[in-house]
Structure formats: C-alpha cells, structure tokens
Amino acid sequence: MTRGIVFVNHLTGYLFIDIVNASVNYYDHISLITGKVNEHKTPLDEKVVVNYISEYKKGGKLSRLIYWLATTIRVYFIILTKYRSHEIFLTSNPPFSPLIVLLLRNKTNILIYDIFPDGLVSDGFISEKHFVNKIWCNLNIRIFKKVENVFTISDGMAETLSKYCDMKKIKVIPLWHSELFSGDKILKELNPFIQKNDLIDKFIVMYSGNLAPGHDIEALIDLADYLKDHNDIEFIIAGSGWKYKAVENLINQKELNNCKLFPLLPAEEFKFSLPAADIGVVTISKPAAQLGVPSKVYNLAALGIPLLCIADKNSELSKLVDSYDIGICCNKEEINKMADFIKRIKGNQNDYDYYAKRAIICSKDFNCSNADKFFNGNLI
C-alpha cells in the first residue's frame, strides 16, 4: 500500500527542508504547501511536489492577521481537493493552520516552533485575560486531542504544551545547524561581507536575527556605547522586525560609530555575514526563556563562534551554554560582565580557541540527522 504525506509551512527554510527530505525514505508521495522555499546548502528533494501559496511578508498586526487567515483557508482547500488521502504534517506557521485539523479527517501530526497564543501574551500583544487568548487556548485543547503526535523543540516548550494535551503525546526533537555552516570557517581576508563593509581589522560582535519586542537589543547597544573607545571592536546588528526603527533611532541618538545596522540579509549575503562574527550574540525574552533555544545558536556553534547570550540564567539557552561551556549568559543589566568577556577573549587567543572548540563539539550533537527522528520511531 502506497503512503502519501503533505507538509505545511509558510516559509520553508533549511530545518524544514531537512525534515521533508527525510520523509523520502518512508513515503511514496511527498508534497509541500509553502509560500517560499529558502534553500541554504541542501536543496529540496526532487521527488517533492511543491504547492505554492502567498509568500509571507512581515507587516503590521492587521496585515499579519489577514495573511494568517487567508493562507489557512488556502491550505485547507488545497488539502481538501488534492490530498484527502494523505497524512498531514502541520507546523505552527502560519499560526492559524492547526485549525484545519478540526475540519479534516486526515491523519495529522504537528510541529510546534512557536506556541500560540502564549507567544502573543509573552510579547505583550494581548493579555492573558483577553477573549482571543481564552478562545485560542480552548481550540488548542481540541486540536491537540485530535492529532497523532505533537512535536516540539525543547523540554520547556513541551512543559508549556502539556496544558493543552497529554505529555505522552508530545515528542521533543531539538533543532540543528544548517549544512551551509558545516566545515571550516571562511577566513576574514576571503570573506566578501567583511571586505565590502571595511571590517578586516575589526573584532566583530554580531547579532543576526529577529528584532522582536521581547529581545533585549537595547542592551547590546548599551554595550556598544560602553565599549565605544575600543576602536577595533565593531558591533553588527542584522535583521528585521518590530524593533528595527527603534534600534536605528537609538544608534543614531547615541552617535555610535562602532555599531552598524543591516536589514535582513538575502541568503547569498547571509552565508558570509554569519561567519564574519568573532562573537555571536543571542537574546531571548524572559517570558520565552523556558520555551527553547533559537536555531541561530547551533549555526554559530557549527562555525566555532563563542556566544554572548542575553537571557535569564534559568533559561533553556543558559543551560545549553553552561553545559557545553560555549560562552556566557548575562542579564541585560550586566554590561560590565559582557564587556569583560569580549575584552578577555579578544585579547587572549587561548581563551578564544577554547570556546571555539567547545562550540564545534556542541554542534556535533545538533546536526541534520535529527530530522530522521520525526519518522523513525514516531510516524513510522
């Protein structure tokens, strides 16, 4: 008997490509519903049939709401008309897509990257008492009761999800690094991003990612201000999100010549920008501290880049950093401690090499073989 599966994710990056590709070993017919396929190094397997929906573009609250609703309706009708006999593998992107579980009879599994509505509450968009939160929470209970498996990326997220379903149904599979960043780190003198932006003689402290409301980017700017007299240290912030304009204004207000802000970089530049970092900065909001470890951590680790993390000491991120000894974790107020760490490993090659080697060791435990765990022993 032949088996078919259809995957749903509005943006298919390297993590989801690895998952979809892993399914080729177990299914006869594989389809993908997505707004965009963003390949790093590993291409989408040629056996996968792609159904394109509208591409996700970040905007205001209303535009995001309209997109979430419109794409969920579109996904529902594609499955209803083309894949009624297929198994479904949903994600929490777009956030409304799990609702189709209540309307279809297909065997369904779901991967939760972001927990809704909990994320909206933690970022301050709605309150815990808001009627949207109450309705959404009730729907989650109904949805998770109906699906076969609930996959997620950390023990902290699993604990949060347990209020919606039996813990036995939840399977934790950690994220992993992109194959784009496996192998030796590109030398500074050969890196186009460094050459283009005149950074060859700089020690680069970089934040690359989402400029979300809960991320303490302001602490990084305060750190840049604190170290502004160190002309050989350069701070790079690259990304997009709600805070972009505020970050730009703060850098200008403080007149920081040692801090550069870049918009979200296309893939052909991103593959050179991340390896340009001497220290990688990772931030996570306090409400989200127990919900997981950002995927950028594993990409930075694979490049042998020590981490400077701005996060709660009891966070999942802090636990990972401490267990592998790949950098430090600080509260946003600990500017002196952050500055001392940067100056220490910048001035001591042995210290720097120690953290770099520990990062590589860490990355070997979080590679693309994790993608097979969704199928081998779980869906199969």
pLDDT tens sequence across 170-192: 999 999 999 989 877 888 999 99
265 and 342 in a single domain? The answer is yes
211 and 287 in a single domain? The answer is yes
Indicate the pLDDT class of residue 362, thresholds 50, 70 and 90: very high
Residue 94 to residue 99: CA distance in whole angstroms:
10
90 and 234 in a single domain? The answer is no
Residue 370 lies in a domain: no
145 and 259 in a single domain? The answer is no
Which residues lie below 8 Å from residue 128, measured CB to CB, with a gap of 6+?
Answer: 121
| Whole-number percent of the chain with pLDDT over 90 | 72
Indicate which CATH number applies to the domain containing 333. Answer: 3.40.50.2000
Structural domain harbouring 68:
4-173
Which residues lie below 8 Å from residue 36, measured CB to CB, with a gap of 6+?
Answer: 10, 11, 12, 52, 55, 56
Which of 146, 173, 200 is where one domain is finished?
A: 173
Which residues lie below 8 Å from residue 206, measured CB to CB, with a gap of 6+?
Answer: 235, 236, 237, 238, 273, 274, 276, 277, 278, 279, 280, 281
Residue 260 to residue 241: CA distance in whole angstroms:
16
pLDDT tens sequence across 23-61: 999 999 999 999 999 888 899 999 999 999 998 877 777
133 and 28 in a single domain? The answer is yes
Residue 362 to residue 356: CA distance in whole angstroms:
10
Residue 244 to residue 148: CA distance in whole angstroms:
39
Asked if 282 and 359 count as a contact pair (C-beta separation under 8 A), the reply is no
DSSP state for residue 91 in the 8-state scheme: E
Number of domains in the chain: 2
DSSP per position, 92-124: SSSTTGGGGGGT--S-EEEEESS-TTHHHHHTT
Q: Output the pTM of the full model.
A: 0.88
84 and 156 in a single domain? The answer is yes
